[in-house]
Amino acid sequence: MTQKEQRERLGRNDLDLEDALIDEAANTVTEGAKRLNRKWPELIVTGLFGGIDVGLGILAMVLVKQTTGSEILAGMAFGIGLLALKLAHSELFTEEFLLPINAVIAGQANWIQVFRLWLTTLVTNLVGGAVFAWLIVIALPDYHKTIADMALSYINQSSLIVMLSLSLLAGATITLSTRMQQGTSNDVVKAIVCMITGLLVIGASMLHGAINAIVVFAAMMAGADISILDFLQWFGIVIPFNMLGGLLIITLPRIVRTRRVLWAVRRGRISLEELEEQSA
pLDDT number for residue 10:
47
Of 258 and 131, the structure prediction assigns the larger pLDDT to 131
pTM above 0.85, yes or no: yes
Its sign, for the CA torsion 168, 201, 93, 192, is positive
Residue 14 has pLDDT above 60, yes or no: no
Residue 223 zone, left/alpha/beta (φ > 0; ψ -120 to 50; rest): left
pLDDT number for residue 11:
52
Residue 3 has pLDDT above 70, yes or no: no
Pairwise CA distance, residues 19 & 279, whole Å: 7
Question: What average pLDDT does the segment 195-222 reach?
Answer: 96
CB contact burial 129-166 (16+ within 10 A = b; e otherwise): bbebbeebbeebeebbebbbebbbebbebeeeeebbbb
Cβ-contact 129, 135 below 8 angstroms: no
Lowest mean pLDDT among 81-90, 202-211, 231-240, 243-252: 81-90
pLDDT number for residue 207:
98
DSSP tally for the chain: helices H, then strands E: 13, 0
Residue 5 pLDDT grade (very low, low, confident, very high; cuts 50, 70, 90): low
pLDDT number for residue 168:
97
Of 153 and 31, the structure prediction assigns the larger pLDDT to 153
Residue 206 has pLDDT above 80, yes or no: yes
pLDDT number for residue 15:
55
Task: Express as a percent the part of the chain with pLDDT over 90.
Answer: 71
pLDDT number for residue 137:
98
Which pLDDT tens digit goes with each residue over 51-102?
999 999 999 999 999 999 999 999 999 999 999 998 888 989 877 788 899 9
Question: What average pLDDT does the segment 205-218 reach?
Answer: 97
Count of CA atoms in the C-beta half-sphere (13 A) of 12: 10
Residue (of 210, 216, 220, 217) closest to 240 by Cα position:
210
> From residue 4, how far is each of 1, 121, 242 by CA, in Å?
8, 42, 38
> From residue 246, how far is each of 98, 109, 168, 203, 276 by CA, in Å?
8, 20, 7, 19, 26
Residue 246 has pLDDT above 90, yes or no: yes
pLDDT number for residue 126:
97
Cβ-contact 145, 217 below 8 angstroms: no
Average pLDDT over the chain reads: 90
